[in-house]
């Protein structure tokens, strides 16, 4: 199998090169960041790309965005995201793309070399291989999205004002409704978001977090530069 690696940690990158070579695979390129990933993939035609998530220069999501761009360039390319982090938004986008197989494994949870190599083979053969923690976080996000989608237009407006820090009285004045109506909307919002009363009284905060998560803009998809550090 011809493999492209994009990993900023030099020790892990070189370790993967040796491991994969010993297993009979050909590492066509091992890059410290994503700046040349698209060009190298176009020139070298790998079967599989192994990509870290957090790469220089910002160490946020460059790798996962590059993985999406690689699949956009070659939909048949199999991709393994190999990271210490779960980036829910881009992970969902990558998994939803048509084309080659996808894997998302967490570095800290890979404890068996043979299983890791088997996962690579399965991905190349067309399987989707996801760490259970990745699945759990994606399902949690989907649940939040579905809950937000159940809110009425007026309830969304109330939640947006809560997110702005408005009190019930201020919300009633802005929306030209009674405070009692606002309280009923808020009660309905809490119910639909599955936020039960607790001793801390933090349901407004949790509701705001759900609102922010559901309305956060996505960064443009495309390759960027990379990051640095042993654990991504």
Spatial separation of the C-alpha atoms in residues 92 and 177, rounded to whole Å: 39
Q: Give the residue from 105, 123, 138 where a domain finishes.
A: 138
Q: What is the mean pLDDT of the chain?
A: 83
Does residue 222 sit within a domain? no
User: What pTM was computed for the model?
Assistant: 0.64
102 and 196 co-located in one domain = no
Contacts of 209 (CB under 8 A, 6+ apart): none
Which of 148, 98, 101, 140 is closest to 120 using CA atoms?
101
Spatial separation of the C-alpha atoms in residues 159 and 190, rounded to whole Å: 10
Q: What pLDDT score was predicted for residue 197?
A: 60
Residue pLDDT, tens place only, 141-193: 666 677 788 889 999 889 888 876 688 999 999 999 999 999 999 999 888 88
Interior CA angle at 61 toward 114 and 156, to 5°? 120
Q: What is the CA radius of gyration of the chain?
A: 22
Residue pLDDT, tens place only, 182-214: 999 999 988 888 776 654 445 676 676 666 566
CA–CA distances in Å: residue 124 to residues 94, 98, 101, 121, 231: 16, 15, 7, 5, 25
Spatial separation of the C-alpha atoms in residues 200 and 187, rounded to whole Å: 16
Alpha-helix residue ranges (DSSP H) falling in 97-227: 113-124, 132-149, 153-163, 168-175, 179-192, 203-215
130 and 17 co-located in one domain = yes
The count of other CB atoms within 10 Å of the CB of residue 87 is: 21
Spatial separation of the C-alpha atoms in residues 193 and 140, rounded to whole Å: 12
Does residue 150 sit within a domain? yes
Spatial separation of the C-alpha atoms in residues 12 and 216, rounded to whole Å: 33
Domain of residue 102, residue span: 2-138
Residue pLDDT, tens place only, 18-55: 999 999 999 999 999 999 999 999 999 999 999 999 99
116 and 166 co-located in one domain = no
47 and 158 co-located in one domain = no
CATH number of the domain bearing residue 20: 3.40.50.2300
36 and 130 co-located in one domain = yes
Q: Give the residue from 113, 138, 163 where a domain finishes.
A: 138
Q: Tokens standing for 187?
A: 């009660």
- How many distinct structural domains can be found in the chain? 2
């Amino acid at each position: 199998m011809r493999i492209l690696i994009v990993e900023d940690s030099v020790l892990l990158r070189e370790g993967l090169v040796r491991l994969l070579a010993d297993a009979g695979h050909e590492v066509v390129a091992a890059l410290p960041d994503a700046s040349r990933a698209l060009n190298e993939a176009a020139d070298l035609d790998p079967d599989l790309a192994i990509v870290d998530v957090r790469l220089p220069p910002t160490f946020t999501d460059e790798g996962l965005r590059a993985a999406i761009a690689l699949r956009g360039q070659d939909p048949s390319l199999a991709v393994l995201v190999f990271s210490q982090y779960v980036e829910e938004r881009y992970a969902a986008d990558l998994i939803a793309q048509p084309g080659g197989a996808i894997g998302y494994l967490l570095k800290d949870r890979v404890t068996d070399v043979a299983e890791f190599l088997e996962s690579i083979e399965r991905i190349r053969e067309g399987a989707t291989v996801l760490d259970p923690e990745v699945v759990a976080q994606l399902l949690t996000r989907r649940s939040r999205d579905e809950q937000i989608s159940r809110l009425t237009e007026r309830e969304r407006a109330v939640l947006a004002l809560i997110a702005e820090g408005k009190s019930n009285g201020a919300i009633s004045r802005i929306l030209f409704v009674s405070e009692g109506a606002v309280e009923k909307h808020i009660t309905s919002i809490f119910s639909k978001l599955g936020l039960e009363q607790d001793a801390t009284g933090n349901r407004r905060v949790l509701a705001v977090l759900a609102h922010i998560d559901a309305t956060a803009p996505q960064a443009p998809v495309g390759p960027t530069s990379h990051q640095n550090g042993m654990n991504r």
